[in-house]
Structure formats: structure tokens, C-alpha cells
Amino acid sequence: MTHGMTHGMTYINVWITECLTDTVKLLVFLTLPLHRDMMMSLDDKGSVQIQTKVLPQDSWTQVSCPCCVSKQVESLVLIQLSDNVQPVTKRWLISLIEASKRHGGAALLAHPGEDECGDVIVVSAPRCTLLRATEDLGLCKKYRNKEMASFSYHDRDNFTNVDDMQEFLTLAERQYIVKNELDSLQAQKKQRIPGVPEAPGVLEAWENICQKLVRAGVIKDIFPLHDQQRLNDVCRRWYSKKQIWRQPLDAIQSYFGGTMAFYFSFLQFYTWALVPPAFLGLVLTFLLPGGGGVVKEQAVEGVMEEEDYGPSVSGHMVQAVFSMLWSTLFIEFWKRRSSSLSHRWGTRHLTERFAEPRPGFQGTLGLNPVTGRLEPLFPEWQRQLRVGLVSLPLVGLFLGLVVLGMTGFYHGEALVQGFHQDSGSLFSGALLYLPSMAHTVYTNILKNVYHAVAMQLTKWENHREESSFQNHHITKVLLFTFFNNFAVLFHIAFYKQDLPLLRKRLASMLIGNQLMNQCTEVVVPFMVDRFLSAPHKKEQEDDLEMDKLRAQRSLPPFPGLFAEYIELLLQFGYLSLFSCVYPLTAVLLLLNNITEIRGDAYKFCKLFRKPFSAPVSNMGVWQTAFEVLGFVSVMSNCWLLLLSPRVQEFCLEGGISGKNIILFAILVEHVLILVKMILAFMIPDEPDWVRIKREQIEFNSMQALGQQKL
């Protein structure tokens, strides 16, 4: 029997000793229990081979192009249909998937699964469809001279590995192309969907078919399939104890796609970049007396006084200036790293295409004035009204709840300090941290509630394009996140001007948030997977009738990287904005990220479905958010340096008025911003070799386009 699909065969070898007679071998061969989807053979060495059939090769739809014929078809995407889908509806959908594009199809390969009346359709893609989509996306691949070049379908024979799609395209790229082709299915004329009631089952001309089937309840979900062998290989390399600091980024990009690869590359780069500020923080805290701003609290006549140890001015100054320069260099060198990765992965020259409506977009069917196609239309003025009259007030309401929590924190802080002054016991000293910890819990609960509200608000605003939807959602969450996590710190620093309280608050927020994140993101999912899901998984493994393709449907959908980037952004904010007050910030973040890398890797590999990943050339809007925080850090560190007790004492001794101090601080702030801008200008966003390669690709593409016109 042929090997078949990668996912489709499981071999079980039962070795029979050579001393057995042929009769005994035959009895063993005949008496072994055999499942209806299994085939058994006995080779000349006495080995009984049992092969499990999942998806027979002859059940795949056929291709008309001779170059696309293959003995093995790779399962890429699974379409999960509703439980009560009619067989005629399933056959109609399969016919659309396999039809050529000139006949309104997707030019893909489809398989009905184990049962033609079942609720799954497995989809793959022939060679020509993959190659044409590669050109449409603007991906770069290795040319015959081993250099990266923009792929051209007409020049395909000059690219390496063009006959082997598993080598030419990554698994993530192949699966995204299938999803993209399915999303582009549109009705050529008005027609009824077979097997669907008349009301929801009418397709208008040029209406998106997949979105219509989702609204009609025919399609429940579409997701890419795991390749268990490749996934195990990635996990083995990812979890290796010998590689604590390095990750298999190329393998991650090949299997999970560029979106996840850029996240883990940034996480690795950021973790390495924490080493210098962590080392400086340790030196300032433990080697330089008072350099870390260590403050001793002592009671004198019932009043808490602060006594600085050593030259805290130098410690504050070194840490503040270093933080400003570090944040600038970190962002600029990450840009260079990002451009190198995008060139290596062939996504530096992606094609900008007219965006199709996102799946959740709703409106009245009409002709799009740009494309002339029939699609849902929604007036822009209605969307603006929803944003201005509903979304903005609700966001303001949650910001008010942040202020309310901050007020409660100050009230609790005053009560605890009064109790500690009256008591002076060890217990009352420990209670000094209670308001900070309680406020941390409050902000985390409020954050979770707001995230859910922000998502529903953005959906209700009804944005047509996925990019617009993501930008509005990210803007809402970033605004609240910045206000929720940093408002109390800015208030303590610049209104109350209480640096010891700021230091204590920052430490409690860092430790509390990291413990909570580690618990919710690693410990809880691991416990659920290990103890709650393990019996169910064992039942699936013991049940020979359980289809491996169906088993993947039990995994929860991939939650995305939104929460992960938010966590890194908060870390970067704590470090760049306030580390001069608490130099051990980088040390705590470094320890957290070492476990964060492995925890996120385990979580994404084992606990969720495989996500679709569009080719990307960078981190997108998140990179801009980090750059904005870098500029804010200049202002924050300047004013924190001004608030240092030693700096204020130095200014008073020199007879410098308060007005002149403020003017001097503004001058220093602008000078440092100018230095930051000069550094950003002097450090190119891409290395010279990447720039040369990019210009070569652009020049060769222009030449190839001119030859095609001729």
C-alpha cells in the first residue's frame, strides 16, 4: 500500500520471532483485531504491518493541469460544517472549491473526509494555484543564483525547488494561500444554495460565498491543520535546554508564519537587550552606595523621614540617561534586525492589494463603487456616529473607573500609613504593601472587563477592512492600558512627588503583574492540559475510530498575540519611564522573560489550534507604539531626575530659583530629544547589505516587468 498523506498513515509493527512456523505466523496474522479503516500485511521478514487509512488519495478532487498531478496530496485546511448540513450542500461546496477560477471556483483540491455525508471538508492546493498566489502576494524566493528575487510565475522555472511545494513554500504560506483563495470565492450570478432554506440560502451576484455560508450557518469554522511530525520537531528544538537564549526562528516562521516568528524574534531580541540595564541596575543597587536611590525610612518624633545613602544624584543621573539612550538604541537596532528577518523570509516586498470586506462586516447589499461587485455596504457617517456617541463615552467611563481606583488606593495608603505610625509593628509594616497589591488586582480585573467591552465596541462599529478593525481595537486597548498602568505612577511622581512611594508602587506592580501573568498564561493552561484534558485525549488515542483531523477541532482557537504584545509594551514602559527610581526593574523583567519564552512556546504549540498567518514584513502598529513610549521616556526621566532630593538640594544650595529649574529641565529635555532624533537618523533602519539586496530586487523586478511588456 502506498504511503498516502503525511497525516493519513500510522504504522504499527508487530515483530514475530523467526522461530515461529509459517502456520503460527498466519494464525497471528488472522487473529489480530482489525478496524474497518485498517489494512494489514505480512512481509517476508515476519513483520505484521497495520496501516490506518484516514483520507484515501483517490477521494481527492482531480486537477486538470498535468504539472499539478501528484501521488500525495497534503491536507492543509479543514472546513468544519454544521452538524445538520445536507449532503447536497456539501457536494455543491466541494464543486465550487475544485472549479477553476474562470468558472467562479477557487482552483483548489477538496476531500469529503471519512464520510461524504459528514461535517468536514479537507482542502489542499495544486501547484499552479500556489505559484500564482505566490506572485500575487509579492513573496520573494531564491533564484537560481541563490539570491532572493520577487517571484514571477512566467519565470518560475528559474527559481529553486519550484517543483517541490513543501520546499518552495512554507507550511504557513501554503495554508494562508488556501484560506485566501477560499475567502475570494464569489457568486457569478444570483443562485440558491442547495439544501439551505430559501430565506438565508440565496446568493446574490458577486456576493462572497464563504461569508454567506457562515451567516447561513453552513460553515462553522475554517482553520489550518497541524502537521504533527513537523510540530514535534519544532517543539523539540524549541524546548531544548541547551538553547536557553536562542530559538529556532526559521522553523517557527516556516510552521507558524511570520506573525508569530516576528513576535518571538522581538521577545528574544528584547530579552537579550535587558542584560545591559539589568547589569547596571545590580551595580547601582548593590555596589554604588545610594546609587540606586535606596532610601532608609526612620521614625523621628512619630514622623517618617527619609535618609539617602551616598550620592544618589549620580545614581539617578546615570540610570536616567542610560534609560533614554538604551530605549533609542534598542528600537533602532530592532528595526535593523526586523528588516534582515523580512529579507531572509522573503516578505520585504509584499504587494499591497485592495482589501476585501472582513468576515464580520455587515451592511446592506449593494455595488461597491471601486470594484463594481455586490457586497455589504455601510455608510461611513453611521460608523463615525457610533464611534463618537457611544465608543468614546464608554472609553471615558472606564478611564474614570481607573481614576476611582487610584483615589481608593490613596485613601487606603493613608489609612495604612496612619495605622503603621500608631503601631510601628512588623505586621503594620507589612500592611504598607497591601494597598498597592489590592490596586494591582483591581486594575487587572478592570483590564479584563475593558478588553471584552473594547472588542464588542469595535465589532459594533462595523469596520469594513480588517486593518481598520485592528487599528481601532488596538488604539482603544493601548489608551486604556497606558492610563490604567501608568496614571497612578505619573500621579505619584509628578503630583505628589513622593519617590519612595513611587519606588514601592513600581516594585509591587512589577512583581504582582508578573506573578499573575505567569499563573494565567502558563500554570493554569498547563494544569488544564495535564489533568483536565488528559483523560479526554487518552480516550481519543485509544479509540481507533477517532479521526485525527476531527480531533483538532476540540482544541480552542488561537487567541492571537494581542495580550503578549501588551505585556511587552507594559514591560518596556516600566523600564524606560521609571527605572531610574527602581534600578532592579530590568533584573525582574529579565528573569520573567526567560520563562516567558518557553511558556509561550509550550502554550502555542500544545494548547491551541494552529492559526492562519498572513505574510508580514514587521510587527506593524506595535513597533510604532514602542517608538512613542521611547519618546515619552525622555520627558519622564528628565522630570524624575529633577525630583531627586539631591538634585533639589543642589539647586537650593546654588540659589537657583524654581522657575529657572523648570526652564533648565525643559532645555535638557529638548536637548535629549534632539540627541534621540539624531541617533535615530544616524542609525539606518536596514543594514547596508539588506538595502543593496532590496535595491537589486527592485531593479530586477523592473527589468522583468519591461520584458513582459515587450
HSE of 504, CA atoms in CB hemisphere, 13 A: 19
Listed range (122-131, 160-169, 517-526) with the worst mean pLDDT: 517-526
- The pLDDT of residue 699 is 86
Alpha carbon separation from 633 to 291, 537, 674 (Å, rounded): 20, 49, 13
CB atoms within 10 A of CB 151: 26
pLDDT band, residue 33 (cuts 50/70/90): very low
| Whether residue 16 has pLDDT greater than 50 | no
User: What cell numbers appear for 486 in the block?
Assistant: 501608568
3-state secondary structure of 80: strand
User: Residues 362-399: pLDDT tens digits?
Assistant: 888 788 887 777 778 889 999 999 999 999 999 999 99
Crossing angle of the two packed helices 658-682 and 621-642, in degrees rounded to 10: 150
- Return the closest-CA partner of residue 351 out of 141, 150, 172: 150
- The pLDDT of residue 272 is 93
Q: Are β-strands 120-124 and 109-111 bridged in parallel, bridged antiparallel, or unpaired?
A: antiparallel
Listed range (280-284, 464-468, 515-519, 541-545) with the worst mean pLDDT: 541-545
Continuous H helices in 345-391: 380-386
User: What cell numbers appear for 321 in the block?
Assistant: 540617561
- Return the closest-CA partner of residue 7 out of 176, 229, 178: 229
- The pLDDT of residue 427 is 78
User: What cell numbers appear for 610 in the block?
Assistant: 494552529
pLDDT band, residue 219 (cuts 50/70/90): very high
Rounded to whole angstroms, the maximal C-alpha distance in the chain is 109
- The angle formed by the CA atoms of residues 385, 387 and 388, to the nearest 5 degrees, is 65
- The pLDDT of residue 130 is 93
The alpha carbon of 12 is separated from its chain's Cα centroid by a whole number of angstroms, namely 38
CB atoms within 10 A of CB 563: 15
- Return the closest-CA partner of residue 227 out of 251, 263, 249, 261: 251
- Of 472 and 663, which is predicted with more confidence? 472
- Of 59 and 709, which is predicted with more confidence? 59
- Of 121 and 427, which is predicted with more confidence? 121
If you average pLDDT over residues 688-701, what whole number do you get?
88
Q: What ranges do the domains of the chain cover?
A: 73-225, 236-378+462-703
Backbone angles phi, psi at 188, to 5 degrees: -75, -25
pLDDT band, residue 58 (cuts 50/70/90): low
pTM above 0.85, yes or no: no
pLDDT band, residue 438 (cuts 50/70/90): confident
Percent of the chain residues topping a pLDDT of 90: 25
3-state secondary structure of 38: strand
| Whether residue 677 has pLDDT greater than 50 | yes
554 within 8 A of 607, measured Cβ to Cβ: no
If you average pLDDT over residues 163-171, what whole number do you get?
92
252 within 8 A of 231, measured Cβ to Cβ: no
Backbone angles phi, psi at 322, to 5 degrees: -60, -40
- The pLDDT of residue 551 is 67
Query: Which residues on neighbouring strands pair with residue 296, listed in sequence order?
Result: 307
If you average pLDDT over residues 20-28, what whole number do you get?
39
d(CA 44, CA 51): 17
Exposed, middle or buried: residue 219 (CB in 10 Å: 0-12, 13-18, 19+)? buried
d(CA 221, CA 214): 8
- Return the closest-CA partner of residue 590 out of 298, 375, 272, 218: 272
| Whether residue 528 has pLDDT greater than 80 | no
pLDDT band, residue 279 (cuts 50/70/90): very high
| Alpha carbon distance, N-terminus to C-terminus of the chain | 51
Percent of the chain residues topping a pLDDT of 70: 81
d(CA 590, CA 592): 5
| Whether residue 707 has pLDDT greater than 90 | no
3-state secondary structure of 377: strand
pLDDT band, residue 339 (cuts 50/70/90): very high
- The pLDDT of residue 709 is 65
| Whether residue 584 has pLDDT greater than 50 | yes
Crossing angle of the two packed helices 466-490 and 434-461, in degrees rounded to 10: 160
Asked whether the CA dihedral 630, 395, 562, 278 is positive or negative, the reply is: positive
User: What cell numbers appear for 490 in the block?
Assistant: 505619573
3-state secondary structure of 675: helix
- The pLDDT of residue 10 is 35
- The pLDDT of residue 244 is 61
3-state secondary structure of 391: helix
User: Residues 75-119: pLDDT tens digits?
Assistant: 899 999 998 888 899 999 999 999 988 888 899 999 887 777 788
| Whether residue 24 has pLDDT greater than 90 | no
| Whether residue 490 has pLDDT greater than 60 | yes
CB atoms within 10 A of CB 396: 10
Those residues whose C-beta lies under 8 Å from the C-beta of residue 329, and which sit 6 or more positions away, are: 679, 683
**Strand segments (E) across 498-575:** none
**What are the b/e assignments for 256-295, b being 16+ CB within 10 Å?**
bbbbbbbbbbbbbebbebbeebbebbeebbeebebbbbbb
d(CA 42, CA 44): 7
User: What cell numbers appear for 368 in the block?
Assistant: 461597491
User: Residues 606-630: pLDDT tens digits?
Assistant: 888 899 998 999 988 888 889 888 8
Q: What is the mean pLDDT of the chain?
A: 79
Those residues whose C-beta lies under 8 Å from the C-beta of residue 295, and which sit 6 or more positions away, are: 306, 307, 308, 309, 499, 500, 503
Q: Are β-strands 77-81 and 219-224 bridged in parallel, bridged antiparallel, or unpaired?
A: antiparallel
8 within 8 A of 53, measured Cβ to Cβ: yes
User: What cell numbers appear for 550 in the block?
Assistant: 476531527
